[in-house]
Structure formats: structure tokens, C-alpha cells
Chains A and B, each alone.
Chain A
Amino acid sequence: MSRSRLPTWIERFVSFFCREDLVDTLLGDLEELYDRRIGSVGKRKAMIFLVMDVLLFLRPFAIKRIFKNSNTTIMLSNYVKISFRKFRNQRASSLTKVLSISVGIVSVFFIALYIHHETSYDHFHSKRDRIYTLNTTITSPTGDLTFGLTATGVAPHLQSVSPEIEEAVRLNLAYGSHVFRNGEKRFIESENILFAEANFFKVFDFKIIDGQEQHALDAPLKVVLTERAAQKYFGSSRVSGETLMIDDHSFTVSAVIENIPKNSHLQFDFLLSLKTFLATRPNAPDNWTWMPMNAFLLVDERTDISRLEDKVNSIPAYQESSSAEGYSVSLEPFAGLHFSEIQRGKLEASGNKQNVYILAAVGAMILLLACFNYINLTTAIMSLQQKEVSIKKTIGASRSHVFQQFMVESFVASGLSAILSIGLILVLFPYYEILLGTTYGLTYLVNFVPLIILFVIPLLLACIGGIYPALKFAGISVVPAIHKKVLRNRLWDLRSLLLMFQFGVTSALIIGSIVIYGQLKYLKDQDLGFDLDRKVVIDFGPNSSIGNQFELLSAQFEEIPGVEGVSFSSHIPGEEPNGVTTVLRDPEGNERNGDINLTLVDHNFISKYGLEIVAGRDFRKGETDITSSLIVNESCARAYGFNNPEEIIGHSFQQWGGDGKVIGVVSDFNYLSLHEDVGLLSLKIWPDQFQKITVNLASNDVTDIITSLENKWNDLYPNIPFNYFFLDNSFREQYQADDVFMTIINLFSMVAIFIGLLGLVSFTSFWVDKKQREISIRKVLGARASELLWQFYRRFTAPVLFGFLVATPVAYYFGRTWINQFAYQFDLTVFIFVIPLILILTFVTVIIGAQTFRVIGDNPVSHLKEE
């Protein structure tokens, strides 16, 4: 044996990847060629050719068959082949199985996404576990009131007495609307403007993409923009140093931050330096009864929270107060703020933890439904497969083979479901984002932990669903199975139980949907106590010159045909009005200090909104009523101790913006959403503060009227944008979160129904097929079609009905609990339960009927001939 002249690396390479039986011959051939080529074209070229040839051998036929030849692999591919064949033969039930599971997985996935979204609020702030917010509680004889605001001096005071507090940040949401302008770009912004203290970025993590964090908010007239705001006004994000006009003041853009994701409690487009706010209110730090600040504390890691709480609870200014009301301040951790029970005064509406739980439950139920379908169908097919199994065993298949066969089938079905699920998710994800208002994009999904669900569930299902049949078959003895087995006809076997459960769940979901729908519709249909329709609102922002001309303007607008009335106010229904502390003497003569709402209105407001004066009088034109006359609503009067509204007339009051006397009581109306009871409202005339004009329209034919209004406006105020919207739309926006929730629940209920019905269809179809012979025999023996129908009907409807009956009380209980969160409650009548029942029964009847008819009409002979 002479030594090979091929380079060693080539030998090793080829031996590695090439088939064992080819390696040697191949190497020999290569060497022969190489040898020859050395002679003809020289060593160099020969080498090149050699390498080329080797590379060209990397073809499928030459590669090592690592897997192909083992016994296991061959068996596996056999099982898989058989699985696919069975699929094709059992197309209906197989499709149902795969579809059910996919739908189940996709539903659970989206629910998991939602839950993850809700529970991940503010996770991007690295210091969130050390951040706390301050709440103030006012205890008064009218009741305790807790809200997320504190007086200006609270946070700085706490920082001075507690070394554990690293940073104290105060935020203030700018109320009302404001005019922003950069050159020609002029818009009105409201509710997205925050005043923030200079150390804002030391506490919260917002990524700065232009400008410096250091001095961003340390002086008055500085503003930080989000990308979105920068684009809107400047067309670019690199705008630090630029000037932005806000309400005709010059602000310098000190920084631009990344757009804020949806899951952040702090939402804003503009961050103004708090110094700007404080500069116009020099007395604020000494005012302990005016609470404008959302305060946040960043505490040291090793802080003893209870000790800090003690300090927070005992603020000297409040300790020493001699008034009848008590003020106290408390801590609330920032991390759980999204689900806070305390909504008032908070910067963003809380999420609803209950809803999250409900959705989780719904998700679990849907998954269960899908599983039940799967198990139901698999066990149903079992009887068909007995023959096959027995034959296999006769030929010599071992028990473990049979077992493996069925397990593989299970996994194949699950695998297909998984693939289908992935496809569905990719397609549906954009719609989900639209629904929730998030803008994460598909990349979000990749990092998403619950993605594991997509793999775990099919696997689990494959195991669970497959084990029962697999075991059963493996254990079947050969002989009896080849003859036809008598089918058990008990009413209460496993499958009936599953059906019962399935329809129980479905019923519960339908009932739940109806309850939720009913409640929300009830809220929206409620008589709010004022006229919501046919009103256009013009928002001109804080502009006292326009405000003071309200009488002139009203006259001008009233001239336009189609306008039935005009009124001015600082806020409109749907917006939270100002919160002011108001002192009034109660019937016993004690001074009561309450925190109530104040809306500044003109003398037309009450009549134009269709409100009723129940005591005293409405505002009158002229100077007398301006800022010194107060009208309160019934609830407010009651809160101050006046059960008879007449009694409060003439009492004097002290309030921000002017003291004076109470001149009237207006009927309660829901100026905010019906989630809560009517608040305590006071009304006063103060034209300086007007920001909105409400125009009552005669009809719904609005376009002309609006054009006229716009033209008039532009004539009078060419520099102020004509910003209008419809009151009913803006009011209903308060229910947006609920609408989203309802849509989601409805969607999933339909999914559950779909899965349930799908299962029922396949199952009955299969069952009826199996019973063909029996039906035929009975027909021959003289049974009437109606008897046969009844028999089948009974068999299936019984479990369904029982499921429904069991579900009803459970659904009722949960429905009631959910409704209790609302101040205004929808009546849970029997009606609610009747509708699902009828619905389900109809479906079931139709399905069973359809299947049975299919077979009953047939000529019995054709089925019996099979033998």
C-alpha cells in the first residue's frame, strides 16, 4: 500500500461528510485524477481542480445518511406517512381538530399579549421599585376623599426632612387647551402637556434623542418634546435650541425624547419646566389647601418604608391645621400604579384589573374547549380504528408500536395546528394592535415570553389527547375487535360529559357577553340629565380676550341660521372640571371646607344644556352675578349638609376666583362618565376663564352651519385655529376602554361558540355515520323518522342542556360582581339567560337535525348491503 498523496485535510473532509460506502472509491478517483493532472497542468492547477471537484461532491446523494438508516427513523417516517393518510381519510374530523386547536392557541396567545401589555406598564423605568407617588386624603363630615394630588409644598418639605428621599419630582398636568405655534404650524393642544421639575429624568427613564438631559427643565420657558410633537411642529426630531410659541410665550426646546409607548402611566407630548408654572403662582408653596401637584419620590434602596410613611403622614402644615377637615398624605408605590384603586387626580386612567382576570379566565376556557373537542373527536374515531389496530397486531406489531403510532398521529396534528397558529397570529397581529392602540410591531413578538405557549400547548395537547387512545389501543386484545363491537349507548359516558362541559363554558361566555353589552349600552343610553345631542364645541384655549367678549360673540353666532343657542364655559361635559376647595357654612353654622368641582360658565349655560334649576334662580345677565354668585348641584348641596336644596340659598361661600353667595341649585347631571356617581359641582360666571363655546344646532344637517361658524370665526380671529368637535363624540370617548374590552369579550365568545359548534358538528356527523346501519335496521323494522330523530336529538341535547343549567348560576355570580364596579347598574333579568338558551338550542337542533336527515332519508338497503 503506497501512501496517499492527497492532502490530509481533504481526506478528513471527505470522510466526514461522505457516505461510508462511497468514501474510499471517491478518494481513490480523486487521487487518480489529481495525479494525472499534476503531470499535465502542474501541481498548482491540479490542486485547484481537486478542491473544485471535492466541493462539487457536496450533493445530496453523496452525503452521509446519518439518520436515514436507523430503524427508529424508518419507523418514524412510516408512522408519519400513516398519520397523513389517516388525515386524508378523516378529513372532516381531522380538520376540525386542527382548526379548533389553532383557534384556541391563537386566542390564548392574544389574550396573553393583552395581559402582558396591561401588567407591563412602566416596566421601562429602571428605578420603578424605588419610586412612590403621594396621595392626599381629605377627611370631612361629607366623607373621605383620596386623590393623587398634593399641595405644592408637600414634596419639597418631605425631601428636607427625610434623607431617604433621593429625589422628589413634582408634575402638574396643564388643564385646558393651549395654542402652540411654530411659524405657520399652529394647533391647539390639550391634556398632553405636563409641567415637570428639573430632576424628572433622574427619576424616570425616557430616552433622549436630541439635546441634553442635564439642563432640560431647570429654568422657566423650557420645553421637552416627544418625537411625535417635534415632527408635528418642526418636521424633524433634531430641534433642540429651536423656539416654540405656547400661548404666545416663547419657549426653547431643550430636548426631544423618544415616543412614549402605550404602557406608560406618564403620557405626554410636551414637558414644560415646572419653574414656568411656579413663576406665575408665587404663593403656591405656602398654600396647603390647593393640590395641583402629582408628586413622585425616589427613595434610597435601604429605606424603611413604614418609617417613611410615618413622616409622610405627619406634615406639620396639616398637623397644625385647626379646620374641621383633616388632611393626610400617604405613599403609593409607582410600580402598581396602573391598577391603582385611586383614580382621581391621577395622570392617566387606571387599567381595570378585573378585566384582566376575566380575560385570563376566558382564555383558559377557550383552550379547554379546544382540548375537549380534540379529545372528543379522537375518542370518537377510536371505534373506527379498532379494525386497523387488530390487523396490525395480527401481522405482528408490538404494543409499543401501536402506542407510538397513535402518539405520532397526535403530534402530527399538534404540529399542523402550531403551524396554522403561527400563520394566523402573523396575519391577525396588525388588527390586534389597532384594537389596543399599541404600536409595537411584529418585532415585539420575537422577544415575547408567552411565545412559548405556541410550542408548549400543542405539545401538551398531543400528549394528553393522544395518550388515552394510544394506551387503549395498545392494550386491545386481538380477536374480539375484528368482529364488530357493540357500541355502548349510555347517556352519560365520557363524551357526553365533555359535551356538557363545552356547552357549559360556551353558555357562560354568551351570558357574560350579554351582561357586558347590556351594562355598557345601559350606561350609554342613560339619561345624563342634560342634552348631549346636536352640540358642536369650539375649543379656543385659554384666551381671556375672547372669553371677555362672550356676549358679542354669542350674538354673532346666533345670527347664523341653524344655530339655536350659544354658551361659553371653561369645561364641557366629558372633561374633568377644576377642583377647588370651597368653604361654606353648613346648616348648623359650622364652616365646611370641601374639595369640589368648579366650572366657569356664562348665564346661558344652564338653559342651553337643558338643565333644571331646583331651587333659587339661574344666572342673570349683567355685572352682579359675575364671580360672586354660585350655583351648586344637588349632590353638592347635600354634601355640605343641606338636604333641602332651598336651605342653601343665600349662604356665603369662599372659593378660588371670588367669594359671594349661593344663588341657586341645579339638578344633578352626569357631567362625567357613568362609571361614577354624579360629582359635586359648582358653577360660577368668570369670563376670563372661558375656553369653550357650545353651539346648539337645530338639526343634524351640520355641514353648512359649521362652515358658516368657521367663516365667522376666521373673520374675527384669523390667528386662532378653528378647532371644533361634536359633544356626543367627545363624551363617549370616556367609554373607550370599555368598548375595547367589550369588543374583545364578544370576539372571544364567538370564538368559543365557534369551537363548540365545530366540535358538535363533526361529532354528530361522525356519530350518525356510524349509526347508519342501526338506523337502516330500525327503518326496516318499521320505525318512523320522527322516532329516530327524537332519539338522536335527546342524546345530544341532554348534555348541552345540563351544561347550560350548571353554567347559569356561575355566570350570574360573576356577572353580578363585574357590574358592581359601576355606580349605575343594569338590571340582570331572566331575559339574559333565556337568549343564550334559545340561541344554543337552535344551533344544536339545526346541527343534529341536519346530520340526522342526511341519513334518515336514505334507502335502508344501501346501508345494509355493506356486508
Chain B
Amino acid sequence: MRGGQLGEFEELVLLSVAILSDDAYAITVFDDLKKQTGRKMILSSVHKTLLRLEDKAFLKSAMGKATASRGGRMKRLYTLTPAGLKVMTETRELRNSMWQQIPKINLLGHE
């Protein structure tokens, strides 16, 4: 996964962060993805991907509020960067474009 390409999971995480807006951190993304995809999630995978995306500058993070349920520890909140937004849209556009190129006949039953 070089700079301009997103892995499948990375894309999902980015989408989730975008959806959650101000409240995107490991647990919420974890829950959201679990709900959206119905897959069994591993917490560490989410952490890993979040860190990766931050390294690639698609996300940026800031420390957020501490709560009692976290034992008084702060959470790390992630938000989308312009670059992140860009790469998401590019991916989406690529998909759309390829979908449009499919001859109608192959889509029988799916239209």
C-alpha cells in the first residue's frame, strides 16, 4: 500500500472516521465498523490502521477528554486531513468510473 493507494480496511477506517466526525477514536471506530460490516473486529487492528493512516498523513490526531470509564485516561481523537479526504474521493471516483464501464448486459439482475 504505497502512498496513493488504500487497502480495503484502511478505506473502511477512513470512512468511519469521516462518519464519526468529532468522536472518532479507536473504540468508536471499532464499534462502528463492527456494526457496519458485521465482521468480527480485532481492536489492535483498528489501532494499527489508525496509526498507519496517521503516518501517511491521511489522518491527524489530538488528545481528547479523559473519562471515568477510561480510568481517567485521555483518548486519542482522529480527524480527516485534506489529503485523507482527497485520497478517499479519488478511490471512490475510480470505483465509480470502472462501474460505469461495465456493459449493461453483465449487470443483469443487479441494476
Contacts and interface: CB of A to CB of B under 8 A. Distances in A.
Contacts of A25: 26, 73-76
Given A24-B73, A56-B42, A29 B48 contact: no
A33 B43 contact: yes
A57 B73 contact: no
Nearest to A1: B72
Nearest to A3: B71
A27 interface: yes
Interface string B47-77: 1100110000000000000111111111110
A2 B44 contact: no
Contacts of B47: 22, 26, 29, 57, 62
- Among the interface residues B43, B75, B76, which one has the most CB atoms of the partner chain A within 10 A? B43
Nearest to B76: A25
B34 to A, nearest CB: 11
B42 to A, nearest CB: 6
A53 to B, nearest CB: 5
A31 B70 CA distance: 5
Contacts of A1: 66, 72
Contact of B71 (A6, A22, A56, A61): A6
- Among the interface residues A24, A32, A35, A57, which one has the most CB atoms of the partner chain B within 10 A? A32
A490 interface: no
Interface in A17-54: 22, 24-33, 35-36, 53
Contacts of B42: 53, 56
A9 to B, nearest CB: 15
A842 B52 CA distance: 63
Contacts of B19: none
A35 B68 CA distance: 10
Nearest to A36: B69
Nearest to B69: A35
Contact of B73 (A27, A33, A59, A62): A27
Nearest to B73: A28
Interface string B63-101: 000111111111110000000000000000000000000
Interface string A58-77: 01011000000000000000
B71 A2 contact: yes
B56 to A, nearest CB: 14
Interface in B1-56: 25-27, 42-44, 47-48, 51-52
B71 A29 contact: no
A25 B76 CA distance: 6
Interface residues of B, number: 21
A5 B47 CA distance: 22
A26 B51 CA distance: 12
B72 A32 contact: no
Contacts of A61: 48, 51-52
A6 B70 CA distance: 9
Contact of B74 (A2, A28, A57): A28
Nearest to B72: A1
Nearest to A57: B44
A22 B25 CA distance: 13
A4 B68 CA distance: 8
A33 B44 CA distance: 13
B70 A28 contact: yes
SS class, residues of chain A in contact with chain B: helix
B36 to A, nearest CB: 18
A26 B73 CA distance: 9
Given A33-B27, A62-B47, A2 B72 contact: yes
A14 to B, nearest CB: 12
Given A25-B74, A25-B76, A56-B43, A32 B69 contact: yes
Contacts of A53: 42-44
A62 B46 CA distance: 12
A27 B76 CA distance: 12
Contacts of B73: 4, 24-25, 27-28, 31
A27 B71 contact: yes
A798 to B, nearest CB: 58
A5 B69 CA distance: 9
Interface in A451-476: none
A29 B72 contact: no
A62 B47 CA distance: 9
B70 A56 contact: no
B71 A28 contact: yes
A25 B47 CA distance: 10
Contact of A29 (B26, B51, B68): B26
A29 B43 contact: yes
B86 to A, nearest CB: 25
B31 to A, nearest CB: 9
A88 B47 CA distance: 39
A53 B41 CA distance: 11
A31 B74 CA distance: 11
A2 B69 CA distance: 9
B69 A4 contact: no
A5 B67 CA distance: 13
B74 A24 contact: yes
- Among the interface residues B25, B69, B70, B76, which one has the most CB atoms of the partner chain A within 10 A? B70
A53 B45 CA distance: 10
B40 to A, nearest CB: 12
B68 A2 contact: yes
A27 B67 CA distance: 12
Contacts of B75: 25, 28-29
B74 A29 contact: no
A59 B48 contact: yes
A59 B44 contact: yes
Contact of A31 (B48, B51, B69): B69
Contacts of B44: 53, 56-57, 59, 62
Nearest to A55: B44
- Among the interface residues B43, B72, B73, B76, which one has the most CB atoms of the partner chain A within 10 A? B73
A3 B70 CA distance: 9
Interface string A139-157: 0000000000000000000
Contacts of B43: 29-30, 33, 53, 56-57
B54 to A, nearest CB: 11
A32 B48 contact: no
Interface string A200-224: 0000000000000000000000000
A114 to B, nearest CB: 55
A37 to B, nearest CB: 11
Interface of B: 25-27, 42-44, 47-48, 51-52, 66-76
Given A2-B68, A22-B47, A57-B47, 4 more contacts: A24-B74, A25-B76, A29-B70, A56-B43
Interface of A: 1-6, 22, 24-33, 35-36, 53, 56-57, 59, 61-62
21 contacts: A1-B72, A2-B71, A4-B72, A6-B71, A24-B73, A25-B73, A26-B47, A28-B73, A28-B75, A29-B47, A29-B75, A31-B69, A31-B71, A31-B73, A32-B67, A56-B44, A57-B44, A61-B48, A61-B51, A62-B44, A62-B48
